[in-house]
Each structure stands twice: as structure tokens, then as C-alpha cells.
Structure 1
Amino acid sequence: MIFEPVRPFVPGGYQIKWATDPWEVSGAMALRRDVFCAEQGLFDASDRDAIDDVAAPIVALSSFVVATDAVVGTVRIHEEGTASFVSHRGNAPSRSTVGLAAETGA
């Protein structure tokens, strides 16, 4: 029926990869800003710091059929000291929870 609620979009899958394309890097930064500044209020306008100059960003991308379409998670990895690695993550529940719940049965 025309008045039935529209089901939320559920991505066809996810891909985890190093952020190599400019849209992936900017998407990761936008997601971090959304999570840490807007949602959690931990920073005023940006959470960028000196670690971003040396960190390796990793992104979780949602996909529609075979094409990736959005950054739905991110983590940055960097070496601190001689052997330890530290990561900082952000994820977008509004963009990813529905799909993850559908896949995991949660």
C-alpha cells in the first residue's frame, strides 16, 4: 500500500580497507567530525591533531550491489614508541546499524 512505512536502506555488504582514495579520506574525516564533535561534543569544530599527519586511516565502506557508496566506520592506526600501535575509531550508527543488525541478526 502507498501509506506503508518505507523500510530503511540496508547495504548489500561492507568492505574494510586502507583509505586510499580522496573521497574515503574526506569521508573518514567527516565521520570523525560527526561522531566526536557533533554527536559526542568532545571537540568544538574538529578532532584533527598531529597524529593525523602520521596515522594510517582505515575505513569501513557500505556497498550497494558492487559499488561502495559511503564511509560508515573509520579507525586511525599509528606507531607510538618502538612497538605499540594505538587506534582511534568512529562509527556512524545512523548509517550502519540497520545493515549490521540485518546481517548479524541483532
Structure 2
Amino acid sequence: MKKPAKIWLWVALVLCVCTTGLNLSEGRWLSVAIAIVSIIGLCVLLFGQRKAGYIVMCVCAVGSFVVGVTQNMGELGAALAIVMSLIGSALVPVITGLFIKSQWKELK
């Protein structure tokens, strides 16, 4: 894996751990569970250089989006909840995908 991708994955790992800590402090247990699985996927991609790690991250992003919309719809309204959840759940997988797309065939 190329150095820029590894640097981004380390940054993403720190961001995801911090976000998970925030969700934990707010008692969002389902979000915490999804985030832990996503962090495991991120670690599999970073340390094991396996495609499965990225796929797990993407599946978790979908779950995170659904949970985020349902948890925030009452407070924010449907449109804003969808936009905010989409940004929050898709940011790391999309940027990661951009970094690893040229290296996809090299991953196990």
C-alpha cells in the first residue's frame, strides 16, 4: 500500500476512535457497536491490506447512515438528518476509496 493511503488510514483510524468515544459518552450504543466493527474493518485494511476490511467499512457506513437518520430525525427533521448522516457515515469510506482505488488489485 502506498504511503499516502497509509497516512490517511491512520488519520481515519484516529477520527473513528474519537467519534466512537463521543458516541459512547452520549450513550448511543448501536452507533458504538457499528463503529467498533468499522474500526476493525479499517484495521484489517490498514494492517492486513485486505479488501474485506474496506467492504466491512462500507457495510458499516450504510448501517451508520440508517441509525443516524432514525436517531436524529425527530430533532433535526428528515432532510437535515439525511444530509448530516450521509456526510458523517460516508466521509471516511469515500475518501478511503479514493486513496485505495489504484491499489485495489494489489490488496488481498
Report the structure number with the largest CA radius of gyration. Answer: 1
Q: Which has the higher helix share?
A: 2
Please give the TM-score of this superposition, normalised by the length of structure 2: 0.29
Q: Which has the higher strand share?
A: 1
